[in-house]
Amino acid sequence: MLAASALAAQAQVVFSPPKNISNSSGNAQAQQIAVDANGNVNLVWADNSLGNYAIFLSHSSDSGATFSTPRSISKHAQSRASGPQIAVDANGNVSVVWTETSPDGSANFIYFSHSTDGGVTFTNPHNISGDAGAVTSPRMAVDSSGAINIVWTDTSLGNSEIFFSRSADGGTIFSTPMNISNDAGDSVFPSIAGDASGNINVVWADDTPGIKYDVFFSRSTDAGASFSTPHQLTNSDTYDTASAAQVASGADGNIDLIWIQRNPSSSGAVFSRSTDGGATFSTTGGIRFGFSFATSIMMALDPTGNNVGVVEQYTNFDEPGSPFVSFIYSADAGASFSGGGGLGAQTAHGPQIAVDAIGRIDATYAQGQYYYYETPCLCFFQSADGLQHSGVIITSYVPTTPAAMAVDPSGNVSVAWLQSATSGGNANVFFSRGAVPPFSFSLSLARVLEGVSSTGIVKLISPAPARGATISLSSSNPSVVSVPATVTVPEGASSATFTVATNAVGSFTTSVTVTASFDGSVNTATLSVDPLFQFFVNGNTTGGNTAGGEVALPQSAPSGGLTIALSSSDPSVASVPASVTVPAGSRFAFFNIHTSSVTAATTVQISGTSNGFTHSISFTVQPARVQQFSVSPTTATGGASSTGTVTLTGPAPAGGATVSLSSSDPSATVPASVTIPAGSTSASFSITTNPGPSTTNVTISASYNGVTLNATLTVRPLIVTGITVSPSTIGGGGTADVRVCMNVVVPFDTVVSISSSNPSVASVPASVTIPQDSGCWFFNVVKTSPVSADTNVTISAAYGGVTVTGTFTVQPIRLLYVNVGSATGGNTTNGQVVLNGPAPAGGITVSLSSSNPSVASVPASVFIPAGVNPGQFAVSTTPVSATTPVTVSASYNGVTVTFQFPVFPPQ
């Protein structure tokens, strides 16, 4: 069975319009409220409209519809009254206690006044603290016999002590004040509570250890005649301190304590319970600790004492100026607490808590507007079982001090707060009453598995009359959650239960509202019904791939695991294993769904059955679609090719997948389609490019099954980028090389046009061919003619709309140099005359001479025939006794060049 906390009925409290009770010309403060068994409302507060602050009271005998004119009950015009406390006993008698400061401010006293007519008239104020004159913080508890028990702090002895006094006759006579703390430290902030047997329990903070404050407890079992030795409940060290201690006693006689334990890093509420009359207390445990600081707490018990509600105001480390309020709840007599969820929003503050006769926990808090979407208000919260619900707005005014709250025996809620009657005006006491249905309604389980029942619980505010009380029931979705038409609370009883049955739900959790109606009032509760299991598939899958299936349980599988039988509505398209088992202690199991290729989207139902419940999920097997399309290379020169590759989301179906292809520009052509073979996921095709005049971005598209993907191929034109001529200077009649370069390695033999700016001087062919796979190529194609003067010639190359040029100079024939080989005297060596080009038509005669003809003689000239270069001549030498240098000179057309060579003696 799915375990869950019970879900509380939706609060149906309706508050009356706010009403100004004090209507004061002064400022009101410290308002308190008490409601007796008949619903009479008594409000008390301090007010300075008469000069000094006095204690005022107003009374309503019609459940807050009207109030008596406020009147002062403190009656000491020269003194200053403050801090009133109010209580009513079982007979409707009203007791008020307060602190009163003497006219000169030198002394404080505790005063008391009492009403035996429901708050209509009050006794004259009575000083119950005596003449000590250094008292404060009175707290009061009225026990089941009507006896009035009061504690306060007294500093007249030098240190602060906790004093006690009691009246058993309605406040006429009080016992002599008794020091119940009686130690050397400072005892402060007492809290008092009586139990059904008349025992009196008191708790306070005391710094007796001399370091930090600790919590102390004392108890009287003899109507206040004596108190037990104080029991120290905490042991704070240098870094800890305890404060804000409170005590409460349930109908079972158990004693509950709560306080704030602080340390440098955090503070939180701490709870402890005694089941043996205060002799021992449970080990203290934090209700709420962490990175936050509790600043105030308040506790309330239900009539059984088993359910404990706590409201706590705290601030976070990172937002110290923004308070929060949380509600914390225990359903096991304080053994454990849960909740901690916030009431309202950020800036919530001033929480108060109370409990009604059937255990409904009520709380009020104020909420500012921290974010724009938050609603400022004084808000109300009610829980029948400790779970939190959205609050009810009492008023849009946000009081800065806590409201006062009291609950009457019928569960109606009376709230009083301080509010300015006009903008910027003085503070007045305002009142509103929340009318509560005469019954509560809750479910034993808030969340169950399909087929598992919950129990509905109705509680009347008072016992059922003769023939019982019949509550009408209904379900917002009877097909999922069914209830009987009615449930009857027997005569004299206050509660009844009924079965809330559940049936099968869909694949997801279904929330159903159960409504209970009685005596014109309506309460609702929500039951969430979870499927025994849920199916999940990791999205739609392309046929031919494997998908992942998941089974999820709302709770861990039992011992032995949970087996779910699986099936597919079309195994030929999507097949599953026969079953899947969620292991014991786990909530999840996984399985594979194997799919086949399809030509169109096909929906398949995957179903699982366990314990008689079947759940399904739709799963769509998609046909393969184009998933990826690319071209490589992405840039090609016109005439080169590229390759396109198409990839599908899954294997191609039987017969293959024909993918349509297209090109956005003729500079790149593709086939009409490419076929991906059955079972394969990709195929490639060739893209042919064509040369164009400029760079072109071509979009190549591949389409299949309604999906088109594009790829861009950049087709660049094939152009000539450079031409050079070498040598750069040549004599007329010689030949020169040209080097022609393209922008890329050419994909084919490429014919480049060339031309000369002066064909009569330098002629070239009409074109040259650059071989395939070459980027540049040399051609010996420049033929020159003789010239009489230096002539510059430009050679041009043109291709792809681009022309490039290279320039060289054709010169007249002239001597470049003369060269003679070395020789041993007596031998002949050779000499050369080198021209800048071949000799012109008719040849030329070059004059020769030697600087030492007796050693090396040369002919007077050498004739170089037409077309020849260089000219050759012989040099004759005579024997020498030592190496002798000789200079040979050659002259032509005004240019003389020389060369010195050595003649060596014989070896």
Return the half-sphere exposure (C-beta side, CA atoms, 13 A cut-off) of residue 825: 18
Q: Which helix (H) or strand (E) covers residue 458, if one does? A: strand 454-460
Q: Which residue has the tokens 């004059």?
A: 847
Compute CA distances 636 → 208, 640, 666, whole Å.
94, 6, 14
**Topology of domain 626-711, per CATH?**
Immunoglobulin-like (2.60.40)
**Topology of domain 720-811, per CATH?**
Immunoglobulin-like (2.60.40)
Is residue 623 classed as helix, strand or coil in its secondary structure? coil
Q: CB of 629 within 8 A of CB of 642? A: no
Helix/strand/coil (H, E, C) string of 717-768? CCCEEEEEEECCEEECCCEEEEEEEECCCCCCCEEEEEEECCCCCEECCCEE
Provide mean pLDDT across the span 139-151: 92
Amino acid symbol at 37: A
Question: Domain 534-622 is in which class?
Answer: mainly beta
Note the pLDDT of residue 333: 79
Q: Provide the token pair at 433.
A: 């009453």
Lowest mean pLDDT among 350-354, 455-459, 594-598, 664-668: 350-354
List, in order, residues 6 or more apart from 131 with CB less than 8 Å away: none
Note the pLDDT of residue 703: 96
| DSSP one-letter string for 602-613 | EEEEEEEEETTE
Amino acid symbol at 383: S
Q: CB of 797 within 8 A of CB of 807? A: no
What average pLDDT does the structure give for the chain?
87
Tell me: pLDDT of 863 over 90.
yes
Q: Provide the token pair at 135.
A: 């008292």
Tell me: pLDDT of 278 over 60.
yes
Pairing relationship of beta strands 41-47 and 28-35 according to DSSP bridges: antiparallel
Q: 878 burial class (0-12, 13-18, 19+ CB within 10 angstroms)?
A: middle
Instruction: State the maximum Cα–Cα separation within the chain, in Å, rounded to a whole number.
Output: 169
Tell me: pLDDT of 493 over 60.
yes
Q: Which helix (H) or strand (E) covers residue 298, if one does? A: strand 292-301
Euclidean distance between CA atoms 106 and 399, whole angstroms:
32
Q: CB of 525 within 8 A of CB of 443? A: yes
Question: Domain 815-904 is in which class?
Answer: mainly beta
| DSSP one-letter string for 116-130 | SSTTSS-PPPEE-ST
Tell me: pLDDT of 58 over 90.
yes
List, in order, residues 6 or more apart from 849 with CB less than 8 Å away: 858, 860, 888, 889, 891
Tell me: pLDDT of 327 over 80.
no
**Topology of domain 439-530, per CATH?**
Immunoglobulin-like (2.60.40)
Is residue 325 classed as helix, strand or coil in its secondary structure? strand
Pairing relationship of beta strands 19-20 and 673-676 according to DSSP bridges: unpaired
pLDDT tens, position by position, 334-378: 788 776 556 655 667 788 888 887 777 888 888 776 554 556 778
Q: CB of 127 within 8 A of CB of 109? A: yes
Q: CB of 838 within 8 A of CB of 733? A: yes
Lowest mean pLDDT among 261-265, 291-295, 365-369: 291-295
Tell me: pLDDT of 5 over 60.
no
pLDDT tens, position by position, 874-884: 999 999 999 99
List, in order, residues 6 or more apart from 745 with CB less than 8 Å away: 773, 774, 775
pLDDT tens, position by position, 105-114: 888 999 999 9
Q: Which helix (H) or strand (E) covers residue 356, if one does? A: none
Q: Provide the token pair at 780.
A: 């010996």
Q: Provide the token pair at 514.
A: 């159960």
Q: At 546, phi and psi to the nearest 5?
A: -105, 130
Chain-centroid distance of CA 359 in Å reads 39
- Candidates 428, 383, 349, 327; CA nearest to 49 is 428
Tell me: pLDDT of 387 over 70.
no
Tell me: pLDDT of 1 over 50.
no
Euclidean distance between CA atoms 197 and 277, whole angstroms:
11
pLDDT tens, position by position, 613-671: 999 988 899 899 999 999 999 998 888 899 999 999 889 988 899 999 999 999 999 99
When pLDDT is cut at 50, 70 and 90, the band that residue 265 belongs to is low
Q: Which helix (H) or strand (E) covers residue 355, if one does? A: strand 348-355
- Candidates 11, 14, 15, 12; CA nearest to 388 is 11
Lowest mean pLDDT among 371-380, 482-491, 594-603: 371-380
Chain-centroid distance of CA 832 in Å reads 94
Q: Provide the token pair at 615.
A: 């759940």
Amino acid symbol at 704: Y
List, in order, residues 6 or more apart from 295 with CB less than 8 Å away: 260, 313, 314, 315, 323
Q: CB of 87 within 8 A of CB of 93? A: no
Beta bridge partners of 652: 678
Note the pLDDT of residue 214: 87
pLDDT tens, position by position, 560-575: 999 999 999 999 999 9
Amino acid symbol at 257: L
Q: Which residue has the tokens 């000369």?
A: 756
Provide mean pLDDT across the span 217-230: 94
Domain limits, CATH 2.60.40.10, in the chain: 534-622, 815-904
pLDDT tens, position by position, 773-809: 888 999 888 998 888 889 999 999 999 889 999 999 9
- Candidates 214, 400, 218, 244; CA nearest to 310 is 244
Q: Provide the token pair at 114.
A: 């009492």
Helices in 85-211 by DSSP H: which ranges?
Answer: none
Note the pLDDT of residue 266: 65
Provide mean pLDDT across the span 123-138: 88
Domain limits, CATH 2.60.40.2310, in the chain: 439-530
Q: CB of 316 within 8 A of CB of 255? A: no
Q: Which residue has the tokens 């009291």?
A: 406
Report whether the peptide linkage leading into residue 320 is cis, meaning its omega lies within 30 degrees of zero. no
Q: What percent of the chain has pLDDT over 90?
A: 51
Q: Compute the C-alpha angle 300/302/308, nearest 5°.
A: 55
Buried b (16+ CB within 10 A) or exposed e, 740-751: bbbbbebbeebe
Q: Which residue has the tokens 């319009």?
A: 17
Euclidean distance between CA atoms 444 and 143, whole angstroms:
34
Return the half-sphere exposure (C-beta side, CA atoms, 13 A cut-off) of residue 30: 20
Lowest mean pLDDT among 306-315, 462-471, 677-686: 306-315
Tell me: pLDDT of 10 over 60.
no
Tell me: pLDDT of 287 over 60.
no
Pairing relationship of beta strands 447-449 and 521-530 according to DSSP bridges: parallel
Beta bridge partners of 693: none
Predicted TM-score (pTM) above 0.75: no
Domain limits, CATH 2.60.40.1930, in the chain: 720-811
Chain-centroid distance of CA 41 in Å reads 49
